[in-house]
Structures are given as structure tokens and as C-alpha cells.
Amino acid sequence: MGRDWVRAFIALGANAGDPLAHIEQAFDALIKLPATEGLLRSKLYRTTPWQAQGPDFINAMAQVDTQLSAPDLWGHMQRIELAAGRIRPYHHAPRTLDLDLIFYGEAVIHSPALVLPHPRWRERAFVLRPLADLAPALVLASDWAGVAGQAIMPLEA
């Protein structure tokens, strides 16, 4: 008997190399994960770095339904980052790809490796705006007030 299906939300961001290509490759890799289906994608957004360095970011959100455990999903996400050339030379360095697990169903996890829900999701316009594309009920009016000064623009189609 298999594990229950869980809805997960994954934030995607990139600002080094070819950010748009890295985001598209990450979406492709996420839908190919084992025991994972139903990928939904937010719009793509351009954001100025917030508590980070380098050029503007391309950001998005993915919604997937998965039977992977939260640690297994997170491990796959780290491998996708590495495949995109992600290195961490210093805190908040520019990145070819950054994947953050924002929600894993209703799970609340506090381990050395993984904290869920993501502890800073409400502080980041680059998480809230794409999340609102997929699950608007999760974003409260007070959340928008908290990120009012953060620049985020949809990419032109």
C-alpha cells in the first residue's frame, strides 16, 4: 500500500547564468520526480534581490502532488539545484537555481535539515505573489502589507 498523496508548494528562483532556462529546467525536473504528478506553475516574475546579491531574479512557484516524504522531496530538490550548477560560495550568493519547499501539505517539521512551513515565506514578495497565483487563499491581506516595499513584476509573455 502506497503513501498518501500530499500537495507541496516549491518556490523557484534564479539570478545567475541563464535564469529563465534554469527555472524551465527545474519545472521539467520536478514533474519527472518519482511518485509525483499534477505540476501546476505560477506565472514567472522578475524581482530585485532581497537580502541577496547580484542581478535580478526570475521567480516562480510550483505546486505538485506527491507521495514522496518531505525529506525525500527536499533531497530531490537539492539534486535538481546541483544539476543546475548551484554552488554556495557565501550566504545569499547569486544562484543558478534555488528551490525552497514552502509547504508540504499541513506538515510542521523542525529538524536541523528541514523546517516546514518555510520559516520566512510570509516575508518575501517573490514567494507570496507566485503562491497567490496557485493558492490565493493561503496569502492574507496582512501578508501583502508586510512585503509592500519589495519590487516584483510579472515577466512579459
Q: Give Dmax over CA atoms of the chain in angstroms.
A: 48
CB neighbour list of residue 153: distance below 8 Å, 6 or more residues apart? 45, 46, 47
Q: Which of 143, 96, 117, 130 is nearest to 11 (CA)?
A: 130
98 is catalytic: yes
Asked if 146 contacts 31 with a C-beta cutoff of 8 angstroms, the reply is: no
CB neighbour list of residue 92: distance below 8 Å, 6 or more residues apart? 49, 51, 52, 53
129 is catalytic: no
3-state secondary structure of 65: strand
Query: What is the number of other CB atoms lying within 10 angstroms of the CB of residue 27?
Result: 17
Q: CA-CA distances (angstroms) from residue 156 to 46, 82, 129?
A: 10, 28, 15
Instruction: Identify the active-site residue in 41, 46, 95, 122.
Output: 95
86 is catalytic: yes
Instruction: Give the Cα separation of 57 and 37 in Å (integer).
Output: 27
7 is catalytic: no
Instruction: Identify the active-site residue in 41, 46, 98, 124.
Output: 98
Instruction: Identify the active-site residue in 56, 65, 72, 100.
Output: 100
Give me the active site residues, please.
86, 95, 98, 100
